[in-house]
Structure 1
Amino acid sequence: MAAQDLVGQRIKAIRRQRGLSQAQLAHPELSDSYVSLIESGKRTPTPAVLELLAQKLDCSLTYLVNGVTAEQMEDLEVGLSFARMALENGEVAEARRRYAELLADGNLLGLASLRVEARYGYALASEACGEVAEAISMLEELGGSETEAMTQERKIAVALALCRCHRERGDFSAAVQVGEHALETMARSGWSDALIELGATLLSVYLARGDMLRAGHFAAELIAAAEALGTPRASVASCWNAAYVAEQAGRAEEAIALIERALAIQSETGEPRNLARLRQAHANLVLRLRPEDLEKSRDLLLRAQREMEAAATSTFDRAQGALARAWAAIVLHQPEQAMEYAQSAIDLVRGASGSLETQGALLLSQARLLLHQDDEAAAELDSVSHRLETTPATRKAAEDWMTIAELRRRIGDDRQSVAAYQRALACAGL
């Protein structure tokens, strides 16, 4: 039902409660036919007329426009403020509960902008709790029924979150479709900070599915757009994700330089949550690309962990940090600690991110091999192999099968090692 229909219905209901006819309500400033048109939803009253009618009906303008009293509106705004604060402070379960309570409040139905904020906040809190399917469902509803009530910035934020959630679930096709459609429709008049960040998320999807040609071209496009904008926010987003493209292309020093440039900018201008995530990304790159700096990598990872614990980072960010620390522990021949980190990562994302669960299980297998627990390592590999058999044939899947093949070989299971190598080749299209 249109907003003007609801306003008209409220005017009609209150007029009848007051025992007034349309003519009595209209006199002397308005005509009774105009009041009739307003009540039937055929005319949209101006703000001045609404204020006049509120005075005549002895009700608040807030109630006439939104269907709630001023006190109810204040309660809703306070509730949203507390939910938002909980999410920003990393109390994601509490934030999700508060947003759910707000969405169940019937007073929110007629308040489009507050309803959009509550649904978007609930989606982000659900994602942070690992309930990615629930987050996707809410974000898709927002992108459909609530489009008219959203600002351009909010539309971009919804598209970015939806693209990211599809990526986390491993549905790269859906992630690309969302990201490309949003950029096609919203970047026609030029780039903005928010659109650069959406583009950076889309770039991460190209990388995840192994589309290096598209990723290389798009990374250059994003960096050029960010330089043209000249804003810190755009520079951080473009350099951060372009670093991963450089890494995958074998340009290690360029990757480190890009991530350090992003970190320097974020350290000066950014908020704690993104700084913690970027610090972890930097530590991960150093760990992977500069094996001679292993001790430095571990120190960076521990610093990133402390910052993430103090900031409102997501479940996935914390899981990725735990996986990086597990790998560092394996390289340092600390298998017990590696198992602890890997298991904590799996527990954080269980059922929400197959990709991160797979990485955790592979690290557990490697740690168990270091402890000469071959049977337990083989069981972990069986579980991972079963999961990979139902996932898309991407470059990442090929890398995972290669890891499985090498671990099977170390266990002495040559038959399954060969089968895993064949799976890897098939995923790579060979």
Structure 2
Amino acid sequence: MGVLPRLCSCSDLSSQGATAVTTSDLVGLRIKTVRRQRGLSQAQLAHPELSDSYVSLIESGKRTPTPAVLELLAQKLDCSLSYLINGVTAEQMEDIELALGYARLALENGEVVEARNRFAELLVNNNLTGLTALRQETEFGLALANEACGDLAEATSILLRLREEELPPDRRIEVAMVLCRVYRESERLTEAVEVGERMLMGNARLPWTDALVELAATLLAAYMERGDLLRARQFAAELLNAADALGTPRSIVAANWNASNVAYTTGHVEESLAFAERALAVQLENGQPRNIARMRLAYLRKRLKARPAEIESVRDALRAAVAEFEQTSTSTIDRGHLNVDLALTEFLSGDYDKAAEHARLGRDLVPEFGHVLGAEANLLLGRIHGAVGRSEEAAEYVASVRDWLAPLPDSRRSASTWYATAETMEQLGDTEGAVESYRRALACVGL
């Protein structure tokens, strides 16, 4: 099929006198523009299949051509069907899809900054304007890339904009799931719960699917972090039943992993490991590299608490995970968690230099004074310096924990970190600071 010397873009068409054009207007204007460039009259374009009056109505936007008519006109005009529909030639469409594929690949390979740049560059391509599905997919990819880079505010902004658009059902669920997760990662637990419940418990309860089980699992995590453990236990049981009924790898992983989290949070640690091992076994066979890496890290964290005698084995596995995390699309916050967890095992194993190195790396990977993980890293640095007799530096690190925690909303995780801070301050002789931290811990759980 021939290529026109110059095909006008949507912006060209809208500048030809139309202030507010519809899709039919744009299609008609493209047909008229290409017809004139080909030197054809309306009658010549119409003959013999159509009437020239019908072509006139299409070109003026007063009739919407059927797919069959559009295909016929594209053949007669010797241009691509995609150009008539979207204002994009077949070659331009191929370029867009190739660029989108490279951006997705960068995200999957852990090149999160590169992925973010590629998605952002694609969004400024004028040819993407009329391609709603591809533009939405690009914006969703940009939100994921921003999340992976640790820019949770920008990820939230993009997802909120997308949520207001007309989206396919599966994409709407995906947007809700990621938005719920990003709110949770931002410690905005009330909003995380509202997003999940709005999708799952609307006017018409949807039948369970893999996507809905994963969304529900994300909501379940928000319930736990908010301290609603009774609701979490009930919901976990419901998800396990749904996953058993579906029998799909995605639903089994999501339901069992989050049942593991509930059991762990409520003190049933060995039961938690059993659920986690089932989820991890299925994930290893079917999952994405990023999800496998994140799940393995969380499993090792649980295993360390349940079986402290296995600390050396856990530490070695965490060391190996550093390379795995660098090769997958884990976020900067994921890598922060890995380094802080590794710092803890190095500390418990007596290697204080390595412990301090990884604690600093983990802290520097999260937004300053905007994440509990930064507080946990500084608290660990305080304990490390205290263990080697550097009390003054230890006290400074522990005191700085308050700067990290103070801006955050109350949550169970914040309460736990305030309590650990109070205990460490007490050990360092800071009685006044310990009392204040105990008070903050109680306030976080509503006491």
Report the Cα distance in structure 2 between the residues aligned to 1:365 and 1:35, rounded to whole angstroms: 78
Partner of 2:137 in structure 1?
117
Are 2:360 and 1:363 aligned? no
Partner of 2:5 in structure 1?
none
Structure 1 counterpart of 2:55, which letter?
Answer: V
Q: How does 1:412-423 map to 2 (within 5 A)?
A: 412-423=429-440
| Alpha-carbon displacement from aligned partner over 1:165-208 (angstroms, at most 9, x marks no partner) | 11111111111111111223498331111111111111111111
Partner of 1:348 in structure 2?
365
Report the Cα offset of residue 379 of structure 1: 2.2
| Alpha-carbon displacement from aligned partner over 1:383-411 (angstroms, at most 9, x marks no partner) | 22133223222222221111111111111
Report the Cα distance in structure 1 between the residues aligned to 2:256 and 2:331, rounded to whole angstroms: 21
Partner of 1:240 in structure 2?
257
Are 2:88 and 1:68 aligned? yes
Gaps of 5+ in 2: 1-20
Aligned length: 427
Report the Cα offset of residue 305 of structure 1: 3.1
Partner of 1:26 in structure 2?
46
What is the aligned-residue RMSD (CA, Å)? 2.1
On the 8 A contact 2:372/2:405 being kept in 1, the answer is no
Report the Cα distance in structure 2 between the residues aligned to 1:229 and 1:37, rounded to whole angstroms: 51
On the 8 A contact 1:273/1:312 being kept in 2, the answer is yes
SS state at 1:155 partner: helix
Partner of 1:396 in structure 2?
413
Are 2:391 and 1:377 aligned? no
Report the Cα offset of residue 239 of structure 1: 0.9
On the 8 A contact 1:124/1:135 being kept in 2, the answer is yes
Indicate how the Cα distance of structure 1 residues 55 and 264 shifts in structure 2: closer, same or farther if over 3 A, else same. Answer: closer
Partner of 2:245 in structure 1?
228
Report the Cα offset of residue 330 of structure 1: 2.0
Report the Cα offset of residue 227 of structure 1: 0.7
Partner of 1:191 in structure 2?
208
Structure 1 range deviating more: 28-37 or 87-96: 28-37
Report the Cα distance in structure 2 between the residues aligned to 1:37 and 1:176, rounded to whole angstroms: 51
Report the Cα distance in structure 2 between the residues aligned to 1:197 and 1:191, rounded to whole angstroms: 10
2:354 pairs, out of 328, 331, 337, with 337
On the 8 A contact 2:226/2:411 being kept in 1, the answer is yes
SS state at 2:164 partner: helix
On the 8 A contact 1:273/1:308 being kept in 2, the answer is yes
Partner of 1:263 in structure 2?
280
Partner of 1:135 in structure 2?
155
Report the Cα distance in structure 1 between the residues aligned to 2:273 and 2:142, rounded to whole angstroms: 36
Report the Cα distance in structure 1 between the residues aligned to 2:105 and 2:118, rounded to whole angstroms: 11
Report the Cα offset of residue 138 of structure 1: 1.3
Report the Cα offset of residue 143 of structure 1: 1.4
Indicate how the Cα distance of structure 1 residues 352 and 218 shifts in structure 2: closer, same or farther if over 3 A, else same. Answer: farther
Are 2:62 and 1:45 aligned? no
Moved over 6 A (4+): none
SS state at 1:349 partner: coil
Partner of 2:74 in structure 1?
54
Partner of 1:95 in structure 2?
115
2:186 pairs, out of 166, 169, 179, with 169
2:222 pairs, out of 193, 200, 205, with 205
Structure 1 counterpart of 2:302, which letter?
Answer: L
Structure 1 range deviating more: 113-122 or 289-298: 289-298
2:314 pairs, out of 297, 302, 305, with 297
Paired-residue identity, %: 53
Partner of 2:16 in structure 1?
none
On the 8 A contact 1:219/1:241 being kept in 2, the answer is yes
On the 8 A contact 2:196/2:216 being kept in 1, the answer is yes
Structure 1 range deviating more: 2-11 or 248-257: 2-11
2:296 pairs, out of 279, 286, 298, with 279
SS state at 2:201 partner: helix
On the 8 A contact 1:169/1:352 being kept in 2, the answer is no
1:317 pairs, out of 334, 341, 344, with 334
On the 8 A contact 1:130/1:352 being kept in 2, the answer is no
| Alpha-carbon displacement from aligned partner over 1:237-260 (angstroms, at most 9, x marks no partner) | 111111111011111110011111
Report the Cα offset of residue 262 of structure 1: 0.9
Structure 2 counterpart of 1:132, which letter?
Answer: L
Partner of 1:10 in structure 2?
30
On the 8 A contact 1:170/1:353 being kept in 2, the answer is no
Structure 2 counterpart of 1:422, which letter?
Answer: R
On the 8 A contact 1:132/1:352 being kept in 2, the answer is no
Structure 1 counterpart of 2:128, which letter?
Answer: L
On the 8 A contact 1:204/1:241 being kept in 2, the answer is yes
Report the Cα distance in structure 2 between the residues aligned to 1:38 and 1:99, rounded to whole angstroms: 35
Are 2:173 and 1:156 aligned? yes
Indicate how the Cα distance of structure 1 residues 176 and 33 shifts in structure 2: closer, same or farther if over 3 A, else same. Answer: farther
Report the Cα offset of residue 236 of structure 1: 0.8
Report the Cα offset of residue 335 of structure 1: 2.2
Structure 1 range deviating more: 403-412 or 269-278: 269-278
On the 8 A contact 2:46/2:52 being kept in 1, the answer is yes
Structure 1 range deviating more: 251-260 or 26-35: 26-35
Report the Cα offset of residue 78 of structure 1: 1.1
Report the Cα distance in structure 1 between the residues aligned to 2:300 and 2:431, rounded to whole angstroms: 35
Structure 1 range deviating more: 156-165 or 384-393: 384-393
Q: TM-score, normalised by structure 2?
A: 0.90
Are 2:94 and 1:77 aligned? no
Report the Cα distance in structure 2 between the residues aligned to 1:393 and 1:130, rounded to whole angstroms: 21
Structure 2 counterpart of 1:207, which letter?
Answer: M
Indicate how the Cα distance of structure 1 residues 272 and 390 shifts in structure 2: closer, same or farther if over 3 A, else same. Answer: closer
Structure 2 counterpart of 1:233, which letter?
Answer: R
